Amino acid sequence: MALFVSNSTSKHVMRFQEYPGMPHMIYKYLDFKKIFISSLDTDVRMHLLYRPHFNQYGWLEKELDLIKKYPEIEINQKGKLIELLKSVKLYICDHQGTSFMEALVVNTPTIIFWDNQYANRKGAERSFDILIQSGILFYDPKEAASKVNLIWDDVKGWWMHKDRQQARKEFINSQCMIDKDCFGKWVDTFKNILNNPGYINREDSLKKR
């Protein structure tokens, strides 16, 4: 099965958030989702689990309207995501969130896509460029769906290729904190930020410890 994990956001601004966490972003976000699903091969959709965000903020009806024409798609709202990541054939993510990092850490084959209108922090650009170059991250939902269709018969073989595994490792090393002493590293990082105003690059600061 392929697991497609969604996101949602409040209809009113609560705080500044990454894509699609602001109300004005949600309509394009839903359009991207619609394009992606409609571009998948029927065989892929027949093996697709769609997991809405647990907080829907009133968007669930519109979200499910996008996929109701595809009754073969199964809606999943049960169980822990991390356990699903360990068992699915492919993980699909359409937003910048924790789950795609978790998927990379547990080495689940992953396809990511989102709108590139919203820039990444400069210190993180190279990490995301690596995912683009290795065919993991896309800024076009049709291209992402085409990649899923292309690799569907041999997802594992595609994922275990040395280029993708190297990209995965580089991204984890620069953007994911999986060290057993992560709490100590975060404490030291925050201390450095407080004591040295110029010491604010997360990627660099975590490596300097």
Q: What is the mean pLDDT of the chain?
A: 82
CA angle 34, 38, 43 (to 5 degrees): 135
Q: Are residues 122 and 202 in the same domain?
A: no
Q: Are residues 148 and 197 in the same domain?
A: no
Q: Are residues 165 and 194 in the same domain?
A: no
**How does pLDDT run across 52-84, given as a tens digit for each residue?**
865 565 555 666 777 778 889 998 878 888 899
Which pLDDT score is estimated for 205?
44
Q: Are residues 166 and 71 in the same domain?
A: yes
Enclosing domain of residue 190: 178-209
Q: For 149, what's the count of Cα atoms within 13 Å in the CB-facing half-sphere?
A: 14
Mean pLDDT computed over 80-95? 93
Please, is 186 exposed, middle or buried when counting C-beta atoms within 10 Å of its C-beta (0-12, 13-18, 19+)?
middle
- Model's pTM, two decimal places? 0.79
Q: Given CA atoms 60, 30, 111, 170 in this order, what sign does their dihedral have?
A: negative
Q: Are residues 193 and 127 in the same domain?
A: no
Q: Are residues 186 and 105 in the same domain?
A: no
